[in-house]
Every structure is written in C-alpha cells, then in structure tokens.
Amino acid sequence: MSEYSLGTLEETILIILLMQEKTYGVEIAKVYEQHMSQSISLPAIHIVLKRMEKKGLVKSDFGDPTPERGGKRKRIYQATQTGFKVASEIQERRTQMWSKVPKATFNYGLS
C-alpha cells in the first residue's frame, strides 16, 4: 500500500494526466470539464499540480515557445511511474470496497 494520500481533485487531475500522457493546464481544465460536468480554474489546477510534483507523482518541463503565446513557453505536465502506481492502488482499493456492497441493498423507488 502506498504512503500517499490524495484528495479527490488531486486524484482526478492525476487520472487526467494518465489519460493524456503529456499535457498542460488549459487542456487539463477542458478534460476536467468534459468528464466532471463542471468548470475548474487554472489556478486551482496549478496548485494541485505543484503539490503533486512535490510528492513525486507528477513531473513538468517547458515546451517550445509559441507565437500564439507571445513567445512564452507552456509548462507541460506528465504523471510519473509513482503517480501511475498510486492511482492504480486507489482504483484497486475502491473496486474491492464496491465489490462488498450488496447489490440488493438499495431498491430505488420502493419506500
């Protein structure tokens, strides 16, 4: 079991990084909104990315300068092998827990 503890937002952004391989803040926000049906601010994304980078779950580097960014470079993020392992462990634990929920526990519509 991993010594890392992730909040829901950290876990979601880590999964997005695993889905995208290499990506940047604006693209993370687009994917987040698409899958979570709610918006997220770029500062919130960057705070989470920095936190996860300190934990070794994410690494970053600068891309090439682009004319559409006025010659500025984007910071490109990528999940690390440790990040993949942590996300996999979380998924495995959740799957194990869900498998223990009795299927007949909730009879929706019956009162």
Give pLDDT tens digits for 80-98. 999 999 999 999 999 999 8
For the chain, which residues make up each domain, given as ranges? 8-92
Which residue bears the tokens 């909040």? 7
- Partners of residue 61 on adjacent β-strands: 76
Total Cβ atoms within 10 A of residue 101: 8
Q: What CATH topology corresponds to 8-92? A: Arc Repressor Mutant, subunit A (1.10.10)
Which residues of the chain are modeled with pLDDT < 70?
A: 1-2, 104-111
Which residue bears the tokens 């009162």? 111
Composition of the chain by helix, strand, coil, percent to 5: 55, 15, 30
**pLDDT for position 70:** 75
Q: Distance between CA 89 and CA 99 in Å, rounded?
A: 15
